[in-house]
Amino acid sequence: MKKLKKVLSIQGGMAGGKTTLAKKLETIMSDVFFSYENPYPNLVKRKNMNLDISAREGFVENQRIFIASEIERFHHLPDGKVIFDRGPEDIEFYTLHFPLANGYDWDVENDLQHELHELRRCRSDYILYLDANEETLRRRKQSDKTRGRSSFEQNMKIISFEKEWFKQFNTKVVDVNNLTPHQIEKITIKFLEEVDF
């Protein structure tokens, strides 16, 4: 059976330029559906449920919410070409690496066995990983006054694991530390042409 969707996820550290790139591509790629991460409804659920993600039970329940939301987002995509600002792999990465980065000995792979299995069925065909070092990410966060990024410091704890983990997929890593948004856009378009996206 012919696959009806072709999916690219733009991944990378917080403030790395993912949304900026996706928004620019959206203005020039009329045959592509763009899906943007919106964590806020899930954060409201977490707050209403009074979940403490520094405790195993709270973290597991929190990830159930985020995984279910991501699976739902995937299943509501239209057929055709899709570009994610982040995507299913990001949720999987965070689920597995948050405990590790914080020194918690939690078996989340077992705790969330069913949920992770379903999430992995939603993996992207291609990943573009925008690789920025900590200095670049902090500088970009400081210069962007439009977004609060309250979880920035938490994300910085796990960034060291991220690039290597994403390399297991069909991933193109782009060092964006010294690139302008326009240069990143040109590299992305060339990559999409190479993979016949």
Asked whether the predicted pLDDT for residue 78 surpasses 80, the reply is yes
| CATH value at residue 26 | 3.40.50.300
Q: What is the span of the domain harbouring residue 31?
A: 5-194
pLDDT for res 104: 96
Cβ neighbours of residue 108 closer than 8 Å, sequence gap 6 or more: 59, 60, 63, 95, 96, 99
**pTM for this predicted structure:** 0.90
Cα–Cα separations (whole angstroms), residue 158 to 98, 188, 190:
7, 25, 30
**87-103 pLDDT, tens digit each:** 999 999 999 999 999 99
Tell me how many domains the chain contains: 1
pLDDT for res 134: 87
pLDDT for res 156: 77
